[in-house]
Amino acid sequence: MIKLLLIVWAAFVAVSHAGPVPSVPGDNSHYVEGESRYIWMSDDDTEPRLVDLQEPVDEDLLLTRNGANNQYWLYTRSNPTNPQQIVHGNANTIWNSNYGTNLPVKILVHGWTGSMNSGMNPLLTSAFLAVMNCNVIVVDWRGVAGGNYVNAVNGVPNVGQHVGNFLTWLINTTRGNWNNVHLVGFSLGAHVVGNAGRTTGNRPARVTGLDPAGPLWHSNGNALRASDGQYVEAIHTDGYLQGIMTAIGQANFYPNGGRNPQPGCSDSICSHDRAPSLFAVTIRYNRHIGRLCANLSQAQSNSCTGSTFHMGNSIINKRGNGIYGLQTGASWPY
């Protein structure tokens, strides 16, 4: 009888923690980090999709859809809108492209359900090319990112390892300099670039995580780390919901408290997607300045008064540490 009661009690606790299936698209008011089973997450069209965080992993699918399917698309000032594909292992695709061997290299990695056509890619590519002569390489990992969220999470390490191996081949083939390499990833893409940097031996000069994904990442050893590059930063805009609130970089910026709702936003979908937009603004104008915080609570309450440090921007040799808070506006350029 006691055993039966324990089973019933355990089932009750599991259901109460999971909570009912949320019925209002985009409403994450029910969500409790680390406990809730369901969360609304934004897809590549910024539409809400209900995610079951306990959905089984399709291991067989990940055997065929993995980082080996990554594609790498080059944009330069000579071809700012018409990409040229660089194929890992085929040096001729480098020499026949507009790749500048002595120029900075910016790597962009989209998030869940994304592709090379994701809105963040033209947004950030045009911003980088507007302020500097560089190579922008967009990573398309749609084969893994296009599956269910749990599958995509489990595919991140392999995708990141392939990105890291591609970068190592690219730098070795072109006799490039790791001090010219800057990796940028949004949401799940932030964890991809972390794994990529780790695979190279933490050699990229700079790694930027844009609202690194939170669900299933808080105790995940494959998450973005402060040691994944020479300088690692994170910009948090939807902490405790779609984004991770933990200060996982060397420098961590929490605009407007780092969580939903961001100014001008009414839901988590908008707040999460604000990170690439804020970063694009900092690339173009470099005028968003954080204040050093004594702790995360200060950052969340916008009460930081310490030394200043610029959020984002395009400077590859940027260096800094700490938690920073700042306020922004509700619309471009924020």
For the chain, the structural domain boundaries read 59-326
Question: Cα torsion for 170, 106, 191, 247, to the nearest 10°?
Answer: 130
48 band by pLDDT with thresholds 50, 70 and 90:
very high
45 tagged catalytic? no
> For position 318, what pLDDT does the model report?
97
> Above 90 in pLDDT, residue 3?
no
Q: Report the percentage of the chain scoring pLDDT > 90.
A: 91
184 band by pLDDT with thresholds 50, 70 and 90:
very high
> For position 12, what pLDDT does the model report?
35
88 tagged catalytic? no
In the numeric block, the tokens 């120029």 are attached to: 103
Q: Measure Cα distances from 168 to 4, 82, 171 in Å.
A: 57, 25, 5
The mean per-residue pLDDT over the stretch 37-49 comes to 94
DSSP-assigned states of every residue in 303-317: ---S-EEE-S-S-TT
The mean per-residue pLDDT over the stretch 135-149 comes to 97
The mean per-residue pLDDT over the stretch 314-318 comes to 97
Q: Given 110, 162, 191, 272, which residue is catalytic?
A: 272
> For position 18, what pLDDT does the model report?
59
The pLDDT mean for the chain works out to: 94
pTM over 0.85: yes
211 tagged catalytic? yes
In three-state form (DSSP H/G/I as H, E/B as E, the rest C), the secondary structure along 193-257 is HHHHHHHCCCCCCEEEEECCECCCCCCCCCCCCCCCCCCEEEECCCECCCECCCCCCCEEEEEHH
> Above 80 in pLDDT, residue 15?
no
The mean per-residue pLDDT over the stretch 151-174 comes to 98
23 band by pLDDT with thresholds 50, 70 and 90:
confident
Residue pLDDT, tens place only, 199-249: 999 999 999 999 999 999 999 999 999 999 999 999 999 999 999 999 999
The mean per-residue pLDDT over the stretch 13-33 comes to 76
> For position 20, what pLDDT does the model report?
80
Q: Given 211, 228, 238, 267, which residue is catalytic?
A: 211
Q: Report the percentage of the chain scoring pLDDT > 70.
A: 94
| CATH code 3.40.50.1820 for 59-326 | yes
How many CB atoms neighbour CB 219 within 10 A? 7
The mean per-residue pLDDT over the stretch 73-101 comes to 98
Q: Given 187, 271, 277, 314, which residue is catalytic?
A: 187
Residue pLDDT, tens place only, 260-307: 999 999 999 999 999 999 999 999 999 999 999 999 999 999 999 999
Nearest to 243 by CA among 229, 255, 228: 255
If 0-12 CB within 10 Å is exposed, 13-18 middle and 19+ buried, where does residue 19 land? middle
